[in-house]
Structure 1
């Protein structure tokens, strides 16, 4: 009886005026020994139950977020001629990779309230609850993390890079760098009007090591002794081989 009542309530709810229908150029990303990054194209359409609302422009925001983990950020200062760690802040959760692409500047198509609710911008996607008592500028540590990861292409902001045709068809290309962390990457699409999110859609892109990379990863974590001995043997063989070649060249 309870299930029947719940079903009737759901059926009685009005259908969304606009919904996302999504496609991916790749369903998964494979990290191999020669992996140097990957390009992914996200494309889709806006499904409507009624004619297009011409009163306000429809905008699209697409984000891709890698696995979220804690991060330790240290501040270094030069003292007596050497660099030393002074303050340390533990950021509770930060995506290992994060990219956001939009049809227009983010501030123009998303209000601060909606950004706080959905955590779309890069600073909002990072969670830092607190800092040690002696640190009064903890926000600078988050800014430094964003700057460092942006320099390594791990954090990307691509404003205006989502193509939207006739408020219906959209697409965006993303470049995933070679230094990806293995795991599930969440791709989310947001439709906004007047800065308000009217619909969202989420899908997962698995990023996994395969082939030799997977075998070495499993060996290092499941049988570290064998992995260490094998690494030592390879190092000895490489050293002996280099020495033999150098001796032969001298003759």
Structure 2
């Protein structure tokens, strides 16, 4: 019995050693590091809205960090997006009835960025596949979310929202606007309109090859009112009666001052 027990223990030890030998090579395998990564820079990461603010241009530049040689299978492309705070929007359609224009239908868009700009290093269809666009929500139409609407032709309302905001400069697609040097250095400049709303503007950079996203980077640009604009905004939000009274006083003083000036000019 002792001999059988010793043989059993020896066989168990040998089996355990074999298992360790077989498992060890596989256990040591780790996922490879990302081949290409974005190192980003911004001309400024904060936009101040003042009395004479008439828009701002954000210079976005960066480089691609690699641990391996540049792949030769497909050229590298870059996509840059800047998205303003998202908010629900009601889009209404007007039709002429009995000589006047009236609202006949409306669709509620659940989430639409107040500002959205896309810049690419090549035509959009050449740098990104539709499946990747669906996954990362990069294009303007993917950035707008409208769910739960049962109205036929609801997509027409989303298209109308995009068209209106493109005409006002809030939405833009700038193809071939990203300069890419030696598949390593990139830069672009995005114009932001004068009537921006406050909040965090999400900035994303995508590296793509053959239409597939191989790396992405995210940062935030802060847009805030400063100075007198900040004081008046806070006053209107925190103390509306005082804000209204101040507006009446300023209007009365302005009217009195204008009348006094005209009287002086008339007498002279």
User: TM-score, with normalisation over the residues of structure 2?
Assistant: 0.87
**In the comparison of the two structures, how many residue pairs are matched?**
240
2:161 is the counterpart of 1:169 = no
Q: Which among 103, 107, 115 is matched to residue 133 of structure 2?
A: 115
Cα deviation digits, residues 187-208 of structure 1 (max 9, x gap): 0000001100000000001001
Equivalent position SS for 1:239: helix
SS of equivalent residue, structure 1 residue 12: coil
Equivalent residue, structure 2, for 1:234? 250
Offset, 1:110: 0.5
Which residue among 205, 229, 240 is the counterpart of 1:213?
Answer: 229
Give, in whole Å, the separation in 2 of the partners of 1:89 and 1:56: 42
Report the 3-state secondary structure (helix = DSSP H, G, I; strand = E; otherwise coil) of the residue aligned with 2:233.
Answer: helix
Name 2:195's counterpart in structure 1: 179
Residue deviations 1:25-74, cap 9 Å, x none?
00211111111111110000000110000111110000000000001111
Q: Secondary structure at the match of 2:146?
A: coil
Indicate the RMSD between aligned Cα atoms, in angstroms: 1.3
Task: Return the alpha-carbon distance in structure 2 between the equivalents of residues 184 and 48 of structure 1.
Answer: 30
Give, in whole Å, the separation in 2 of the partners of 1:241 and 1:80.
Answer: 47
Aligned-pair distance for 1:250? 4.1
Give the equivalent residue in structure 1 for 2:16: none
1:5 corresponds to:
none
CA drift of 1:108 comes to 1.1
Aligned to 2:176: 160
Q: Structure 1 unaligned runs (5+)? A: 1-8
Any residues of structure 2 matched to 1:4-15 within 5 Å, and which? 12-15=30-33
* 1:79 CA displacement: 1.0
- TM-score, structure 1 length as denominator? 0.93
Separation in 1, partners of 2:262, 2:175: 54
Choose the corresponding residue for 2:57, options 13, 18, 39.
39
- Unaligned ranges ≥5, structure 2: 1-26
Match of 2:213 among 183, 192, 197: 197
Report runs of 4+ in structure 1 exceeding 6 Å deviation: none
Equivalent position of 1:140 in the other structure: 156
Query: Deviation per CA, 1:157-215, whole angstroms, max 9, x where unpaired?
Result: 11000000000000000111101010000100000011000000000010011111111
Q: Point out the structure with max Rg over C-alpha.
A: 2
What's the counterpart of residue 127 of structure 1?
A: 145
- Matching residue within 74, 97, 101 for 1:79: 97
Q: Which residue of 1 aligns with 2:121?
A: 103
SS at match of 1:246: helix
In structure 1, the residue matched to 2:15 is none
